[in-house]
Amino acid sequence: MLTYIEKIKEISSRLLQEGKVDVVIGFRKGTVPMMNEPCFVKRPEDVDNFVWDSNCGINLANYLANRKEKIGIVVKGCDSRNIVTHIIENKIKQDQLFIIGVPCKAMIDRRKIEAMFETEIQEVIEAEDRIIVKGHGLEKTINKIDVLQENCAICVQRNPVIYDELVGEPVEEKKDVDRYEDVRKIESMPPQEKWKYFDDLILPCIRCYACRNACPLCYCPTCFVDESRPQWVGKSQDPTDTRTFHFLRAYHCAGRCTDCGACERACPMDIKVRQFTKKLEKDCLDLFGWEAGMTLEKRPPLDTYRPDDPDDFIK
């Protein structure tokens, strides 16, 4: 994965030099361990700012909606699925984009790694499938596979579904992944237990909406929680309002969520917000055989009518 960066720089510099794009969106090195910052580059001489490693979990499709210029963008499998969704939903035009595809080798979960150590982590070095963690008087090597972002661990689309150029050979997609073990567990709970599960899940929520804002799908000019005429949702920490936010956010992502994990990664309170969206994702797969963002050829099930709809009430 660490060899990708040279190719990313080369392509970016070429695109800018040839005037094929006005800007390239990628990542630059962060100021704290295990964090990179989304950034843009407009001049070929600045492409050296770009980095690529296992800390690029933010979904860059989030930076595309409604942009007008010609854009080069560095894209993982999940990001590409959100770009497909953006194109279908008219948030960006495909011919505005030059997609620099990255066959993704999974991102790491910084909070998981932080929680493994008593002391603060000073430095993290990557060596393909191993991660070397250094702290105050501490040095430990861990296997990357043990500290993946949870959505990456069950990802079935690591290669970008659309791209203009790839930065490396496609990676092998994982087959036979059980994506919904956790969802089935919740489905089998009696209603009271289910209710409690979700109440406990969102108990620490501070209603900052980082989960919403990190998500490329949440581009509404005014989100329902921000509407004031009428005001649909209260603004305090009343549990009913917090639940309303979470339930509705998830429903607005139904059939669109790519399980990129950006929401969960952004939450400052470590809330597993994908527990909501994954259920809807599973339903979409079970009911309509639909996986979001895999193709430009088909309309999503929630904005189309099909005579063979599995529900009777609609017929």
Partner 1 sequence: MKVIKIDKKEWAGGLERLSDSFLLCGPVKKDKFHNFKELEKGELPDMNLLNTRLSPKSIVYPQSEIMFKYTLDENQKDHNILKEIDKDYSPRGVIGIRPCDAKAFLLVKANFDAPEYKDPYWIKSYKATTFVGYACNIPCNTCFCTTAGCGPFHEQGLDLLLVDAGDYYLSKIITEKGKNLLTAAGWSEKMDAAAAGDQIASMKQAAEAKITARVATNKLKDKKTTELFEASFWEEVAFACINCGTCTYVCPTCWCFDIQDEAYGSSGIRMRNWDSCMYPLFTFHGSGHNPRETKMQRVRQRFMHKLKYYVDRYENGIQCVGCGRCIRHCPVNIDIRKVCDLMNDYEPALDEE
Judged by CB under 6 A, which of 64, 104, 253, 254 binds ligand SF4? 253
Instruction: Return the number of the residue (162 or 223) whose C-beta is nearest partner 1.
Output: 223
Q: Closest approach of Cβ 214 to partner 1, in Å?
A: 6
Closest to ligand SF4 by CB, 30 vs 268, is 268
When asked if residue 61 is in the footprint of ligand SF4 (CB under 6 A), the reply is no
d(CA 255, CA 217): 11
Residue 117 Cβ, how far from partner 1 at the closest point, in Å?
11
Binding residue for ligand SF4, selected from 58, 257, 280, 284, defined by CB under 6 A: 257
Distance CA 155, CA 145 (A): 13
Q: Which residue has the tokens 């959505």?
A: 151
Of residues 104, 116, 31, 144, the one with CA closest to residue 261? 104
Dig out the tokens for 101 from the structure: 């595809």
Q: Does 149 bind partner 1 (CB under 8 A)?
A: no
Nearer to ligand SF4, 33 or 216 (CB): 216
Q: What's the farthest any 2 CA atoms get from each other in the chain? A: 67
Asked if 79 touches ligand SF4 (CB under 6 A), the answer is: no
Q: What angle do CA 166, 171, 176 make, to 5 degrees?
A: 140
Handedness of CA 246, 115, 156, 194 (dihedral sign): negative
Sheet architecture: strand order including 71-75: 36-41, 23-29, 71-75, 97-101, 165-166
Which residues are registered as beta bridge partners of 309? none
Which segment (11-19, 154-162, 185-193, 204-212) binds partner 1 by CB under 8 A?
204-212
Tell me if 138 contacts partner 1 by CB under 8 A: no
Q: Which is nearer to partner 1, 8 or 161 (CB)?
A: 8
Return the half-sphere exposure (C-beta side, CA atoms, 13 A cut-off) of residue 184.
5
Does the footprint of ligand SF4 cover residue 127 (CB under 6 A)? no
Distances from the Cα of 200 to the Cα of 54, 183, 204, 207, 211, angstroms: 30, 16, 8, 15, 17
Told to check if 155 binds ligand SF4 by CB under 6 A, we report no
280 binds ligand SF4 (CB under 6 A): no
CB of 313 to partner 1, least distance (A): 33
**Residue in 209, 253, 260, 276 binding partner 1, rule: CB under 8 A:** 209
Cβ closer to partner 1: 62 or 157? 62
Pick from 91, 105, 110, 274 the residue near ligand SF4 by CB under 6 A.
Answer: 274
Spatial separation of the C-alpha atoms in residues 284 and 282, rounded to whole Å: 5
Angle, CA of 194, 178 and 104, to the nearest 5°: 115
Nearest CA among 64, 30, 21, 2 for reference residue 165: 21
Site string for partner 1, 113-132 (x = CB under 8 A): -xx---xx-x----------
Interface with partner 1 by CB under 8 A: which residues?
30-33, 35-40, 58, 62-63, 111, 114-115, 119-120, 122, 136, 204, 206, 208-210, 213-214, 226, 228, 234-238, 265-266, 268-270
Interacting residues with ligand SF4 (CB under 6 A) = 59, 205-211, 214-215, 217, 253, 257-263, 266-269, 271, 273-274, 277
